[in-house]
Structure 1
Amino acid sequence: MFRNLMRARGRPGRPTITTVSLATAVTVLVTGGSTAAVAGPPAPAATPVVTRAGLDPALVAGRGADVNFVEQEAENARTNGTVIGPDRSAYTLPAEASGRRAVRLSPGQYVEFVLPRAANGITVRYSIPDAPTGGGITAPLRVSANGKHVRDMTLTSQYSWLYNQYPFSNDPRAGLLHPDWWITECQCVPSATTPYPSISTPFRPTHFYDEQRLLLGRTYRAGDTIRLTAPSGSAAAWTVIDLLDSELVAPPRVRLLAANVLAFGADPTGRRDSADALDRAIAFARRTHLTVYVPPGTYQVNRHIIVDDVTIEGAGNWHTIIKGREVALSPPAPDGSVHTGVGFYGRDAADGGSRNVHLSGFAIEGDVRERIDTDQVNAIGGAMSDSTIDGLYLHHTKVGVWFDGPMRNVRVTNNIIVDQIADALNFHTGVTDSLVAHNFVRNTGDDGLAMWSDKTANARNSFDHNTVQSPTLANGIAIYGGTDTTVSHNLVADPVREGSAIHVGARFGAEPFTGHLRITNNTTVRAGTYELNWNIGLGAIWIFALDRSIDARIEVTGDAYLDNTYNAIMLVSDWPVKDLYSINDVRFRDIRVDGTGTSVVSARSAGSASFANVDARNVGAVGVNNCGSFHFTPAGSEFTLTDLGGNDGGWLAPWLLPNTITCDDRPPVSPPPPPSRW
């Protein structure tokens, strides 16, 4: 979500600092990680390895979005390049890769995938270097099928590579954006030091990856090969391939009885702006109660399209593309925006909002390359009640879907939201009775899916069966306040920095949690990042009392926390408010924890939690790290853990009575083995 990133706030726990070497981080970034292994001679083509979030699909069955494509990690494919990773350290290419590994190609090298099933379309997730002064470069990637050249893709880093402190810079040479903020790398608040500290540049590089889709022109069969080659003479010194998604793209959908935008002057070649033509088609469709149909093509749209009481349908998100430039506004708009760009917006909630809006079957390609939080440059925005957003592909906008309520009954389903500068989706302010289901999210620059009860509580909403991969900042799924919320059957993988997989936060001025919060049957993998401001490792799920206590009925049931970098479960309050707020009566039941770098549970707050049938194995340091609120009283910790039985693995029993304090502020990390079937 949009944030005033934590500055020199007190840190929960002892104020000891662990130094982080930026020079090391930059070296790892450039080299691809100290654990990189140079490949030997190319291996013969083999049975394709299909994964979901870098895992055996059997480990995540029933979790995450149903999608039309299959995922193949480059490190499992045939290559004469270099496998980089694994590495979970922020600011490195492996850390932001799916599964924390990828393949680096020098010019002339390739990676080759064997198709697991018939396909006529591919998505390539990749990274190439930035320009020396920022702004990105372009470079070719040769695509061959069964040894025959298909076409060259033009890769770009124009939408990648952010640097520095929030809200980030596009300039790798930039000095500190906020000289008064806490700087972990130098253990200081720079404005309070003499002489002024220097930093190595580029400082905190991040958001390295982008992805492109390509129709192959014909259907290839299972067992056919797709080779990606970085051509000799490429402008890119290296090309990193993270993965290939392949799918059988359906033919374009045709709707004959409709308000066809071509009849209103829209240009499917993208040479002329089609915004006014779309407005005319929408107005006609509302008068005649027809659907607006946007046939195959690329349509240039450089501003918001306002939608209300209308259905807009494309030929499929591979075939109908709405694409726009980011346009500077002079003077700024009344809402503070200094840019506009392509997006479909409901009317403002203050003006009554929109209703009965149905958008489906097209792509929105934006042009957002920097983070400006006041800009309304989202793919979908405004307020839309009694509406549906289905089957869209949202790419290169600030936020894929940002709804400002009050509004009710919206269904956001079956969308692909990738390569965003900020969130993929945010229910902001008074969104009620709504569902987000079967959406695929990858490479957000902030929370993947969020509900933020800012000023007015969200209520009775569900995030169900979504996949969120590789958020580069913050969390996969975050809930900030609200009433009667459900987070169920989601798959969240590979958060990178200052957040984790699932987050429950009393913060950002959110309204309190009330009623119930049910977190049910989710799977997280390789989660639990290093919190930059606190210098501690987070849990795969972390509950944070910053602005107030958390007293709602929170039930965490049926989750699986796999290959946790640090803790599986964390309950924490910030140091300045540790004696003011608590986290009370959280109930964990039927949980499986497979691998922790540190602990199963880390408690750094007053409060209580109960555990029933929480099974854990491959625990790194200690089952429970219970610091309470750091007073170390004779009565024991201020956080109470209750054993309700069935907690296998021996992780809990030794630490229960009398409220045992087992506080190691920063325990050593023991990387767990890969997860396996239980």
Structure 2
Amino acid sequence: MSRTPSRLLAVASVAALGLGVIGIAGPASAGTAPVVTRAALDPALVAGRGASVNFLEQEAENAATNGTVIGPDRTAYTLPAEASGRKAVRLQPGQYVEFTLPAAANAVTVRYSIPDSPNGGGIRAPLNVTVNGGGKKTMTLTSEYAWLYNQYPFTNDPQADLLHSDWWITECACVPAFTTPTPVITKPFRPMHFYDEERLLLGRTYQAGAKVRLTAPKGTAAAWTVVDLLDSELVQAPHVNLLASNVLLFGADPTGKKDSAKAFEKAIAIARLARLKVYVPPGTYQVNRHIIVDNVTIEGAGNWYTKIKGKEVALNPPAPDGSVHTGVGFYGKDAADGGSRNVHLSGFSIEGDVRERIDTDQVNAIGGAMSDSTISGLHIRHTKVGLWFDGPMTNTKVTDNIVVDQIADALNFHIGVTNSLVRNNFIRNTGDDGLAMWSETTANTGNTFDRNTVQTPTLANGIAIYGGTDNTVSRNLIADPIREGSGIQVGSRFGAVAFGGKLSITDNTVVRAGTYELNWNIGLGAIWIYALEKNIDADIRVTGDHYLDSTYNAIMMVSEWTVKDLYSITNVHFKDVRVDGTGTSVLSARVKGGASFENVDARNVGAVGINNCGSFNFPPTGSEFGVTDLGGNDGGGTTGPWLAAWELPNTITCDDRPPVVVPPAPSQW
């Protein structure tokens, strides 16, 4: 979605490209035992939360290597900050990192970063993969879909001047266009979105204990190769459907050399007439435009085997919707044309060619309006948004998908999406919100985001709810937001309708969240409730959440400075919440209104438990934000109990930018 920065006074510094890291030199022991994690955590800490996936995750910093461990670092614009768990391994040419398989596997996914080209656009470089010293295969790594720079909506050019010289710039604490002398901005300015990932079938099954070695070969074009993690998986045999409308019968090319869009459309037309499914066998199929789907089932052989891949194509003139490009995607009909129904997509991958962010472009993997539909078992990467739905539409289920390496969101319910479910999806490395419900002009109602994993959004939030009525966010695992966002945001912004009914936020785990907001020069919370355009007064229930290792606050409730006396946040209730580690407070209140707390337990709290600024008018009657203690609120940190009697109901305890105390790693409660 379109974003414009707040123009509040802020001062910040940008880490130099490739710096801001702590290095620990190898070599590590060649006998390193496998350490399986989920979002770089002990899986026991997140049992029952997040997506259940077919792969096992291993962080490179836990593997054997003669490279260098970088991190931990949470400073935006640095390589470790965007790594899972905020650590990774940097290899020079000739160096390796070696993982021990924790279970039988015949496929691996490597998350990595390599340098950009000097003038932008990326490079390609090899990465050798061996198992037990043999079976050598070579991955081709690329930085063509990484490395964005500058201000929103970003550029691929590392030498570009400011995209918006009339925006406030924290690095100079000024508006450059109105500042004399004109400040010098270090280039490349604000590098980000460093990582990509690549999948590889190993050609045979290796048993637990096998050693998978990743080596940056001597002579590689990459001056360095950073490996973040390895996912290992036992991929099942391809799915076959002989009683279907097979795209090969209509001229589809499984080698990817010829465009297969027309063949797909013919297969879909016959399938609808004959009431058959469409089957896409193993292969790579080139599709360079949208395939419109309605009342059809399309299934592949599995997302490791059936790959639908497209080039981004310039449109001249632009499309009526403002798109200046098109590309591969499966789209329901526009809602204005009645939308689509009974669409079922499963078992294939969609790989786009999107390298820049143009908000008017419809270059998403899945789009349009689809009611009474299902999207399951897809692997999506290198599109603008994985799944962007423009309603009204209803009763759509998005389950068991993997969405990675997006320029913007992984999924967005936009305008009047109702009674729909997003469950058990794995999301990593988005360029904007991982999962969003954006009720622009019309409320999204009765939807659920349940048991999804969202990792390393490079901008904005893991999960964001912008307005709407009677929605639920439950049992999700959210980790490592990088910049200007939180694990969970509840926001009155972007023209969203008011919140109504009940918003349930239940049994989620958020780890290493609470990022730095560069426009405000403050730290955000693991959960961030933000009244920018309207009051937030719906019944908001936050129950059973765990906020682990929060960089700043666990909970932030705030209004923007220019509207601080206009809007309030009320009727928010926190119950049965655990807070394990905050850099600053459990609650930072920067708005008028109030919230209640019951059985909220905290430990390793780095500052005063409640940082209560209210709306910064500091009346003699106390803060404009009230805290209601419903009992059972235990624990605290360096300054004593997090919720002390002297703080109630509205003691002013305002420290605008408290010092950060790094908490210990989270552990069993």
| TM-score bucket of the superposed structures, by smaller chain | over 0.9
SS of the equivalent of 2:199 reads strand
Question: CA deviation digits over 1:28-82, x for unaligned, max 9?
Answer: x424x3422222x341323200000000000000000010000000000000000
1:503 aligns with 489
The answer to whether the Cα contact below 8 Å between 1:103 and 1:242 also exists between their aligned partners in 2 is yes
Aligned with 2:506 (options 520, 529, 536): 520
Q: What amino acid is the match of 1:652? A: L
Say whether residues 1:129 and 2:115 are aligned partners. Answer: yes
2:357 aligns with 371
Say whether residues 1:609 and 2:603 are aligned partners. Answer: no
TM-score (norm 1): 0.97
The answer to whether the Cα contact below 8 Å between 2:355 and 2:407 also exists between their aligned partners in 1 is yes
2:535 aligns with 549
SS of the equivalent of 1:186 reads coil
Say whether residues 1:663 and 2:634 are aligned partners. Answer: no
The runs of 4+ residues in structure 1 deviating greater than 2 Å are 19-22, 654-658
1:644 aligns with 630
* Alpha-carbon separation, structure 2, partners of 1:657 and 1:404: 45
* Alpha-carbon separation, structure 1, partners of 2:444 and 2:608: 37
User: Within 5 Å, which residues of 2 pair with 1:171-210?
Assistant: 171-210=157-196
2:344 aligns with 358
Per-residue deviation, 1:4: 2.5
The answer to whether the Cα contact below 8 Å between 1:407 and 1:430 also exists between their aligned partners in 2 is yes
Higher mean C-alpha deviation, range 101-110 or range 188-197:
188-197
1:340 aligns with 326
Per-residue deviation, 1:655: 4.2
The answer to whether the Cα contact below 8 Å between 1:120 and 1:220 also exists between their aligned partners in 2 is yes
SS of the equivalent of 1:388 reads strand
1:51 aligns with 37
2:4 aligns with 5
Q: What amino acid is the match of 2:345? A: L
Q: What amino acid is the match of 1:60? A: V
* Alpha-carbon separation, structure 1, partners of 2:188 and 2:21: 19
The answer to whether the Cα contact below 8 Å between 1:655 and 1:662 also exists between their aligned partners in 2 is no
Say whether residues 1:30 and 2:23 are aligned partners. Answer: no
The answer to whether the Cα contact below 8 Å between 2:628 and 2:648 also exists between their aligned partners in 1 is no
* Alpha-carbon separation, structure 1, partners of 2:42 and 2:332: 41
* Alpha-carbon separation, structure 2, partners of 1:130 and 1:560: 37
Structure 1: gaps spanning 5 or more residues: none
User: Within 5 Å, which residues of 2 pair with 1:466-615?
Assistant: 466-615=452-601
> What is the aligned length?
664
* Alpha-carbon separation, structure 2, partners of 1:657 and 1:291: 62
SS of the equivalent of 1:185 reads coil
Q: What amino acid is the match of 2:12? A: V
2:403 aligns with 417
Q: What amino acid is the match of 1:391? A: G
* Alpha-carbon separation, structure 1, partners of 2:6 and 2:587: 26
TM-score (norm 2): 0.99
SS of the equivalent of 1:30 reads coil
* Alpha-carbon separation, structure 1, partners of 2:148 and 2:263: 36
Per-residue deviation, 1:318: 0.3
Aligned with 1:246 (options 222, 232, 237): 232
Q: What amino acid is the match of 1:141? A: L
The answer to whether the Cα contact below 8 Å between 1:306 and 1:347 also exists between their aligned partners in 2 is yes
Aligned with 2:312 (options 312, 326, 329): 326
CA separation of 1:314 and 1:34: change in aligned 2, threshold 3 A? closer
Question: CA deviation digits over 1:339-378, x for unaligned, max 9?
Answer: 0000000000000000000000000000000000000000
Say whether residues 1:20 and 2:34 are aligned partners. Answer: no
2:638 aligns with none
The answer to whether the Cα contact below 8 Å between 2:21 and 2:78 also exists between their aligned partners in 1 is no
Per-residue deviation, 1:657: 3.2
Q: What amino acid is the match of 1:379? A: A
Q: What amino acid is the match of 1:20? A: A
SS of the equivalent of 1:599 reads coil
Using the aligned pairs only, state the percent identity: 75
Per-residue deviation, 1:307: 0.2
* Alpha-carbon separation, structure 1, partners of 2:25 and 2:34: 21
User: Within 5 Å, which residues of 2 pair with 1:79-478?
Assistant: 79-478=65-464
CA-atom RMSD, angstroms?
0.8
The answer to whether the Cα contact below 8 Å between 1:141 and 1:229 also exists between their aligned partners in 2 is yes
* Alpha-carbon separation, structure 2, partners of 1:279 and 1:479: 36
Question: CA deviation digits over 1:506-543, x for unaligned, max 9?
Answer: 00000010000000000000000000110000000000
SS of the equivalent of 2:471 reads strand
Question: CA deviation digits over 1:178-227, x for unaligned, max 9?
Answer: 00000000000111111221200000000000000000000000000100
SS of the equivalent of 1:287 reads helix
Q: What amino acid is the match of 1:30? A: G
* Alpha-carbon separation, structure 2, partners of 1:639 and 1:547: 18
* Alpha-carbon separation, structure 1, partners of 2:147 and 2:21: 21
Structure 2: gaps spanning 5 or more residues: 636-640
The answer to whether the Cα contact below 8 Å between 1:503 and 1:541 also exists between their aligned partners in 2 is yes
Per-residue deviation, 1:658: 5.4
The answer to whether the Cα contact below 8 Å between 2:627 and 2:648 also exists between their aligned partners in 1 is no
SS of the equivalent of 1:622 reads coil
